[in-house]
């Protein structure tokens, strides 16, 4: 079942084209990796899906519904890059995860019993229950990423977008995040993840997308990792440097 569907999406920043005629389908129950060089449009694509950027052309639908309705219903969660997270913001880990419940709480933002239970369960799943009252900025990079995954879980999101979640993350946290994403995919979540770590792709993703402002290839990981295909996205003569 298609969870995220983009058709003919184009995004421009002034005279600069960030995305051009992007058509992409991300299926429920699968992990799809988005790969490409810096400036290829990965972060722009994510922000277009979650509604931070409005495309100049094309459409985005989520779970078969107009994207705006799906976002209002909390069906999509986003784990940003580390440099987008304000580590000085005076909130606890529990507060960050509880933000995923705001859409269910009305204007008072007063947690109810089911909100507290959902947050507790999400913290347990990412192994942060013991750090729930710690200020978010006092966590390691990997712990912060896990906190934002927990926010998506508590929110009840059926689609998760993770933008470079392994940058600056220790191996233990990386392994934990990968294992958790695999569990979520098995439960029927659709997961789209951008990464520079090509060597980890076979153990991480079911399929991958090569992006260079447009979709060059969407295929199983082993096909995407062929040197001649990587060369198309990374501008190398034969892709051998990246495949090594």
Distances (CA, A) of 237 to 48, 199, 233: 31, 20, 11
- pLDDT for the residue 106: 66
- pLDDT for the residue 16: 94
The answer on pLDDT for 20 being more than 50 is yes
Q: Which is nearest to 230 in space by CA: 184, 189, 187, 199?
A: 199
Instruction: Return the percent helix, strand and coil in the chain, to nearest 5.
Output: 40, 25, 30
- pLDDT for the residue 244: 43
Helices (H), the chain: 42-49, 67-72, 93-98, 113-125, 141-155, 171-186, 201-204, 221-224, 227-234, 240-243
66: Cβ contacts below 8 Å, ≥ 6 apart: none
CB environment 108-126: b (16+ within 10 A), e (fewer): eeebeeebeebbeebbebb
Taking only the tens place, the pLDDT of each residue in 166-197 is 887 888 888 888 999 999 999 999 999 999 88
The answer on pLDDT for 238 being more than 70 is no
Task: Provide mean pLDDT across the span 205-224.
Answer: 96
Task: Provide mean pLDDT across the span 196-207.
Answer: 90
- pLDDT for the residue 132: 95
Please count the helices (runs of H) and the strands (runs of E) in the chain: 10, 10
Please give the CATH superfamily to which domain 1-75+158-244 belongs. P-loop containing nucleotide triphosphate hydrolases (3.40.50.300)
Q: Which of 65-74, 118-127, 231-240 has the lowest mean pLDDT?
A: 231-240
| Range(s) within the chain of domains with CATH label 3.40.50.300 | 1-75+158-244
Q: Which is nearest to 59 in space by CA: 95, 21, 114, 6?
A: 6
- Binning pLDDT at 50, 70 and 90, where does residue 200 land? confident
């Amino acid at each position: 079942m298609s969870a995220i569907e983009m058709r003919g999406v184009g995004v421009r920043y002034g005279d600069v084209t960030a995305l051009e005629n992007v058509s992409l389908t991300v299926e429920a129950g699968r992990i799809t990796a988005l790969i490409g060089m810096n400036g290829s449009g990965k972060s722009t694509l994510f922000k277009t899906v979650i509604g931070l950027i409005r495309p100049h052309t094309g459409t985005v639908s989520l779970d078969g519904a107009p994207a705006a309705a799906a976002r209002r219903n909390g069906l999509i969660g986003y784990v940003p890059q580390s440099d987008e997270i304000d580590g000085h913001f005076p909130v606890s880990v529990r507060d960050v995860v509880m933000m995923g419940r705001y859409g269910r709480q009305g204007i008072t933002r007063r947690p109810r019993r089911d909100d507290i239970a959902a947050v507790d369960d999400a913290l347990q799943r990412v192994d942060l229950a013991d750090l729930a009252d710690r200020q978010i900025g006092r966590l390691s990079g990997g712990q912060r990423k896990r906190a934002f995954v927990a926010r998506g879980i508590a929110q009840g999101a059926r689609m998760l977008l993770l933008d470079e979640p392994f940058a600056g993350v220790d191996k233990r946290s990386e392994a934990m995040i990968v294992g958790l994403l695999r569990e979520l995919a098995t439960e029927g979540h659709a997961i789209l993840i951008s990464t520079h770590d090509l060597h980890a792709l076979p153990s991480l993703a079911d399929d991958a997308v090569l992006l260079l402002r447009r979709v060059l290839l969407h295929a199983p990981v082993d096909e995407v990792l062929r040197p001649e295909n990587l060369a198309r996205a990374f501008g190398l003569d034969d892709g051998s440097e990246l495949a090594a």
